[in-house]
Amino acid sequence: MQPQPTQRNRLPSELAPAALDVNSTVIAHYARLTDDFNPIHVDPDFAATTPMGGIIAHGMLSMSLIWQALARSLGQAGRERIELKVRFTRPVRLGDTVTAGGRLLPDASPACYEVWVQNQAGDPVIVGTAQRIPGGAGEMAAK
């Protein structure tokens, strides 16, 4: 079923950005939250010996910004009954600033956002889609 025009019209065409400066304190905090102490994230000596050549952040750390962008733009509808699918396309390094965003896909039904996280150079580090899961109360709607 096609979404009603009024529903689609209420959706923002772009998600409000959410950004994070990735430093060693942030990475260490996220490692504790997830209990993920993979040395590629937390051990600079080990990380220097890998093909990455240094510390990289947890991919899910940057992914969390997409949830923030959804919540900022869609309110509670951006926090409930959402399917998020992403690919990690580039490593995020110490000192990077990453920013999540998204764009409403024009012809998708039900409504679907193309989502991404970019680094400070504008290179995508995460790409994917976010879509309301049918059922529950109402369709994806602006806050």
Partner 1 sequence: MFDFERFRPGELIGARDFDLSEQALQDWLALFPDDRDGDLMPPGMMAAVSIRAYSDILSPRPPGNVHAAQEYRLLRRPRQGAQLTTRVLCAEKEIRKDRRWVTFDSETTDRESNEIAFTGRMIVIWAA
Q: Does 140 bind partner 1 (CB under 8 A)?
A: no
> Could you say which of 4, 13, 14, 36 contacts partner 1 (CB under 8 A)?
36
Nearer to partner 1, 11 or 27 (CB): 27
Q: Does 68 bind partner 1 (CB under 8 A)?
A: yes
Determine the angle formed by the axes of helices 59-74 and 24-34, rounding to 10 degrees. Answer: 90
Residue among 22, 108, 95 nearest 65 (CA): 22
Q: What is the largest CA-CA distance in the chain?
A: 56
Q: Does 80 bind partner 1 (CB under 8 A)?
A: yes
- Distance of closest approach, residue 5 Cβ to partner 1, in angstroms: 27
Cis peptide leading into residue 39 (ω within 30°): no
Residue among 20, 17, 15 nearest 77 (CA): 15
Q: Does 102 bind partner 1 (CB under 8 A)?
A: no
Q: What is the CA radius of gyration of the chain?
A: 17
Q: Does 18 bind partner 1 (CB under 8 A)?
A: yes
Q: Does 24 bind partner 1 (CB under 8 A)?
A: no
Count the alpha carbons within 13 Å of 23 in the hemisphere toward its beta carbon. 2
Q: Does 97 bind partner 1 (CB under 8 A)?
A: no
Residues that bind partner 1 (CB under 8 A): 18, 26, 29-30, 32-36, 39, 50, 59-60, 63-64, 67-68, 70-72, 79-88, 133
